[in-house]
Amino acid sequence: MSRAWPVNDVDPEAPVGVNARKVLAVRIAELYSYEPAVAQPTWSHELHDMRIAAKRLRYTLELFETQFGETGKQQIDRIKQVQEALGVLHDRDVEIEMVGAELSAAMADEADRVRADLASAEPQEMAAIATSAMRPPPDDVRRGLISLLVAAHADRQAAYDAFTSLWSTLGEDGMRRDLVTLSMAQRPERLEADTSA
Amino acid sequence: MTDATARVAAAIDIGSNSIKMSLGRLSGDGRLEEFGQVVDVVRLGQGVERTGALNPERVDAAIATLKRFAGEARAAGATEIAAVATEATRAARNGAEFLERVRSETGIAVRVVSGEEEAALTFRGLETDTELTGHVVVADIGGGSTEFVVANDGVVLGSRSTPLGSGRLTERFVTTDPPTPEALAQAQAEAARVIERLARSLKLPRGESVRLIVVGGTGEYLARMTAQERSLDRRVVQNVLGKMAVLNAAELAEIIDAPEARARVLPAGVAIVAAVASRVLANRIETARSGIRSGLLLEMLTRPVSAEKPAKTRPARVRRAAGATPAGDAPEPAFREAMRGLIHERWQEVWKVMPAAIEGTSIEGVHDVRVASRRLRAAMDVAAPAFPRSWYKPLHLSAKEITSALGEVRDRDVILERLQEQRTAAPPADWPGIDRLIHRIDDERIVARSAMEAYLAGLMRGHLRDEVERRFAPRDPANARHPEDEGKE
């Protein structure tokens, strides 16, 4: 997991809003630094780091909720969707790794068993051992594990598609623009315009 | 620039056994020159282990000493007096009351330092007269606590404070004068137990090439007893400990040329040295005068006179921008105070959900602690520049550790839940494979959960909660400055 990008120019004595915007700007940049990974379905580590960056951005928006108002809340909803979509993708990656490791172990167990059987077998028994090894019984543990692995890969593909589709939609809706606007200091003239509107 | 060499400062260390003061100034080449050291054995920490509070008589004695020291410092031309209080005041429930009396009766604002801050100051002070090359373990043995610093070629790799102190061990184990060999063995065993636990979180180097430097009165007196000055053979320490069982406090006081009250706690201090030495396996043990006052003097004397801030830099200021606050609203709070409150709230959320995670009736318990700790970390990540690193960093690391400690369990909770659902939907022929995986992950989860439960239960019982309260709980709304920040800026 990557470390949070540092926010170097925080001023402890400045008003909260000033620092909140600085932190937000860094967290936005941190999230979008992973954008190249969006088009790379096999970049599991980077996509996981992107999820963590999305969490950091969301928690920053929540932490300074009073500073960012309603617009901030809308951004929290959007980032939460990103984080959740990447979360499903990560869960499938973890699952593929765990199931894959167990399948490898089951395969190794079976190989050990065949080797041991052949080593101690009489010549006339060897053909039967070979046949049995090549045609495992219907309830062999590998069957269930292979089924799980197939399902996990299919689900991962679906999760990836759902994420890229969401990312594209949020991009078209101007999520990045809205976030960056939120991180910019509000100018007095804009405040006046807002008040008179 | 003001001539820093003309300035004289006084540093006072209010320990559990003694109150010590050093005067100091910077020489022309920027080195620290200390002079006018005075010590009073007040035993402020006497009884704290048993009663949890400072003894009123000891408090009166401490205040009398501090009044005298303050007068002597001013008479010697000191323009600044800094005082730190360590374990006895940290641990006592009436510590704040004592500090208020000191402030009102002597004019000295005492800063209560955390164990880690104490270790950092000690190390800084030690650097002024000791070459710190190679692997170094510094043990600053006080009356109520011992601070450990591990460094390599002058770079600090870590530090920890432990509840080991010569006064504290004396109160627990030494009931006779002279102490019995059994009592000293018990004190050494207790010290060894605490050090072993410490070695799990602070990587204590081990081996003949490691330099063990014992700081504080215990080391000084030990050197006097053996006439080996600043470097002792490891085996000699154990021999000295044996002799302690045949010397009463009055005899010992004469040998080490110290007050009897100080001599009374020395055997337990030597037991701590023996325990550290046998854990670290250093061939020789070096001794050094307490560094905390040197560290304090450097802190004061390297601070520019014109500014209130120390030379240790803080980020450049951004003044409150016009228009940053919507018209008509109250002024926004400053970041530091706002973050203190937010971090306190976030810790409360963590404590609130922790019992359910330990209980384990629902997998959501672990998830809730993970989420609460991540929210806490988000706040602590951004607030780090606003607080002194010495005490903030350990708390920040604790927040990170909470998230990590639960990760293994959470990953397995999630996948087990999904595997159960998949099993329900799968044909029976797939069940043996799914069951095999479920069993393996469940076994791993049991191991991970047991480690997690022990860790969380330790957190609930330990000092972390008190430390969080001390550092972040809102106090004294009339005063914008938090007591814990006194002297830090």
Mutate to test the interface with A, among B381, B417, B422 (most CBs of A within 10 A): B381
Going by C-beta distance under 8 Å and a sequence separation of 6 or more, which residues neighbour residue B231? B284, B285, B286, B287
Among chain B residues, CA nearest to A188: B323
The pair of three-digit structure tokens given for residue B282, joined into one six-digit string: 């250093």
Judge whether residue A114 has pLDDT over 60. Answer: yes
Least confident of B9-18, B77-86, B312-321: B312-321
B411 near A CB under 8 A: yes
Q: How far is B369 from chain A (nearest CA, A)?
A: 15
Mean pLDDT of the A99-110 span: 92
Nearest to A148 among B336, B387, B422 (CB): B422
Q: Decide if A106 and B327 are in contact by the 8 Å CB cutoff.
A: no
Burial of B327 (0-12, 13-18, 19+ CB in 10 A): exposed
CB contact under 8 A, B432 and A139: yes
Tell me how far apart the alpha carbons of residues B291 and B244 are, in angstroms, rounded to a whole number: 26
Task: Kindly provide the residue ranges of all beta strands, DSSP E only, lying in B115-223, ordered along the sequence.
Answer: 135-141, 146-152, 155-162, 211-215
Q: Is the pLDDT of residue B101 over 80?
A: yes
Are B335 and A13 an interchain contact pair (Cβ–Cβ within 8 Å)? yes
Distance from CA of B366 to the nearest CA of A (A): 16
Mutation target vs B (from A2, A11, A98; most B CBs, 10 A cutoff): A11
Nearest to A144 among B320, B331, B433 (CB): B433
For B169-190, write each residue's pLDDT tens digit.
898 888 898 899 889 999 999 9
Q: Does B416 touch chain A (CB under 8 A)?
A: no
pLDDT over 90 for what percent of chain A? 69
Between B4 and B106, name the one with better pLDDT: B106
Q: Look at B33 and A62; give whichever has higher pLDDT.
A: A62
> Which residue would you say has higher pLDDT here, A114 or B120?
A114
| Bridge pairing between strands B146-152 and B155-162 | antiparallel
Q: Give residue B488's pLDDT band: very low, low, confident or very high (50, 70, 90).
A: very low
Per CB-CB distance under 8 Å, the chain A contacts of B320 are 14-15, 18
Burial category of B30 from C-beta neighbours within 10 Å (exposed 0-12, middle 13-18, buried 19 and up): exposed
In chain A, % helix, strand, coil (3-state, to 5) comes to 80, 0, 20
* Contact yes or no for B344/B384 (Cβ under 8 A): no
Cα separation, B376 vs B356, whole angstroms:
18
Residues of B in contact with A23 (CB under 8 A): 382
Instruction: Read off the pLDDT band of B332 (50, 70, 90).
Output: low
pLDDT of residue A40: 94
| pLDDT of B6 | 67
* Residue B458 predicted with pLDDT over 70: yes
pLDDT at A189: 44
Residue of chain A with shortest Cα separation from B319 = A14
The reply to whether residue B433 touches residue A146, judged by beta carbons under 8 angstroms, is yes
Report residue A25 as tokens.
């700007």
pTM: 0.51
Q: pLDDT of B123-141, one tens digit each?
A: 878 877 777 888 889 998 8
User: Is B334 within 8 Å of A138 when comparing Cβ atoms?
Assistant: no
Q: Which of A128-137, A152-161, B471-480 has the highest mean pLDDT?
A: A152-161
CB spacing of A145 vs B436 below 8 angstroms? yes
Residues 6+ apart with CB under 8 A from B206: B279, B280, B281
A191/B323 CB distance under 8 A: yes
Q: Is the pLDDT of residue B83 over 80?
A: yes
Provide, as residue numbers in chain A, all residues whose Cβ is less than 8 Å from the Cβ of B379.
59, 63
**Percent of chain B scoring above 70 in pLDDT:** 88
CA distance B112 to chain A (A): 22
Give pLDDT tens digits for B468-478.
Answer: 988 998 765 55
Q: What is the C-alpha separation between B20 and B292, in angstroms, rounded?
A: 10
Cβ within 8 Å, pair B327-A195? yes
Query: pLDDT per residue over B421-434, tens digit each?
Result: 999 999 998 999 99
Using a CB-CB distance cutoff of 8 angstroms, which residues of chain A are in contact with residue B414? 91, 94
Query: How many whole angstroms separate alpha carbon B272 and alpha carbon B168?
Result: 11
Tell me whether B439 touches chain A (CB under 8 Å): no
pLDDT confidence tier of residue B151, bands split at 50, 70 and 90: confident
Nearest CB to B415; choose among A12, A95, A187: A95
CB-based contact B429 A139, cutoff 8 Å:
yes
ipTM: 0.83
Mean pLDDT of the B280-287 span: 83
Q: What average pLDDT score do residues B86-99 get?
A: 78
